[in-house]
Chains A and B, each alone.
Chain A
Amino acid sequence: MTPLSIALNLALSFAGLAALCLAMDRHHRAIAGRGQTRARARALRLAGWAALAASFAAAVVTSDWNFGPVQWIGSLTGAALLVVGLVSYRPAWIRPAALLALPLALAAALLA
């Protein structure tokens, strides 16, 4: 339950939730200014859930079954708040931020 393991958790949850947000037509339109194909939305949704699953796995691996789920749920709340803040106030930042979160997660995973 080190800060690094939580950083890893937060980064993965954020990337996942940002992808899920982009997969929703209303938000995609607001962020990108245009609609998207069905296939793209499905791919984003898949990637989003995969990242959330990876986040859960990371939490359980780094903080065991006792605290892992607690930490995962906490990271979901923190990351979702960040996504909502960006979508509402700085929609253009969300895609770069989500892409940046992935190497950050990798770095945290290597250090943790």
Chain B
Amino acid sequence: MRVSKVLPVTDISGPLDRARSRSGWRYRCAVAARVGLAAFGGYALAGLATAFLSLTLPMVRSEAVATATLISFAILAGAVIWVFAARTLLRAALGLGLPIALVGLGLWLALDGVAMGPPA
């Protein structure tokens, strides 16, 4: 129990720290990769989800857009937290890529529906 009480107050890194202990260059690459994944992957997921929900939420379209835009930033925040919390870069990328693919597919289908017009 002693061990759990000894904790640096700041700059305690998780998975990234292990990379740093091996080499500074590798540590920097790992950080850059996560930052890039968080920024671009997170924004991609949030943007796709906003578009998807705007088309599919069962409300008037202005309400759907307002709801989707409101929660999009929470989705973005969640995605970024996930990327930095995941144990390995691969897990982070998979955990982000899978929902992106799913929401992207959903959006593609929804856009198709819009293009064909409302069902009779």
Q: Do chains A and B touch in the complex (CB under 8 A)?
A: no
Chain A contacts to B: CB under 8 angstroms: none
